[in-house]
Amino acid sequence: MTITPLPLHAEFLLLAHDPETGKALVDGTPLKAALAGAALIELGLQEAVRLEGEGRDARLVATGADVSPELVEVLARADGHAPKKAVARMGGAESYTDRATRLREATWDRLESERLVRRDEGKVLGLFPVTRRIQTTTARATLVDTLRSAVLGSEPPGIRTVGLVSVAQASGVLAKVLPEIDKKHLKARAAEIGEGSWGGDAVAKAVADMQAALMAAVMVPVIVSAGSS
């Protein structure tokens, strides 16, 4: 039986939350920007969007490929825009209707339908209702092992793992899930992985180029959040 991998934004959402309590490992602003970045990379992996142009002229362009329901709005908001603006239009200052929260909830619903999480209703301070998702499988542990192998290994990981390493590092999640590894080594190795050579794999090279531009955009809200804490 062939097991279809989870989309990158779903993998990131699992990683970014404590599997037992459902609490996020990083603040809301970096989490939203990183989730938007992960979704955009997933669109690249599916060849639903490509990066055209270079430098300041680079734009994300839709290819016309079909995408899953939770990515329809992401694709529409990204088409024709620079990577930084595409992230902002989904998970940043230009997303006035909190589209990243819609993406997050739609992704949680997908994970719940696949029985990877269950809904847990509770209250904060006994007053304010809150909904969290408790993870019910070892999927997250497998993802953490994949990240650990990529960071500690000498072989270049696949392009999907490269994307997960990059978005986890840009959001601050990588250090949270691999606390036993020195942060300087994590940062250096993540950069090395992101700059890997893709040889003759045109799709992987295209995704890597798009990913580099997107992660620069994701890093902005992370730095702002850290500076204000």
For the segment 122-163, what is each residue's pLDDT rounded down to a tens digit? 777 777 888 899 999 999 999 999 999 999 987 788 888 988
**Amino acid at position 49, single letter:** V
Q: So what's the pLDDT on residue 201?
A: 57
Task: Over range 197-222, report the average pLDDT.
Answer: 61
Domains, the chain, ranges and CATH?
8-210 (1.10.3630.10)
Task: Over range 46-69, report the average pLDDT.
Answer: 90
Q: Is the pLDDT of residue 96 over 80?
A: no
Contact predicate 84/217, CB 8 Å: yes
Q: Is the pLDDT of residue 215 over 90?
A: no
Token pair in block for residue 108: 């949680």
pTM above 0.75, yes or no: yes
Contact predicate 171/15, CB 8 Å: no
> What sign for the dihedral angle of Cα 104, 105, 110, 113?
positive
Q: So what's the pLDDT on residue 207?
A: 67
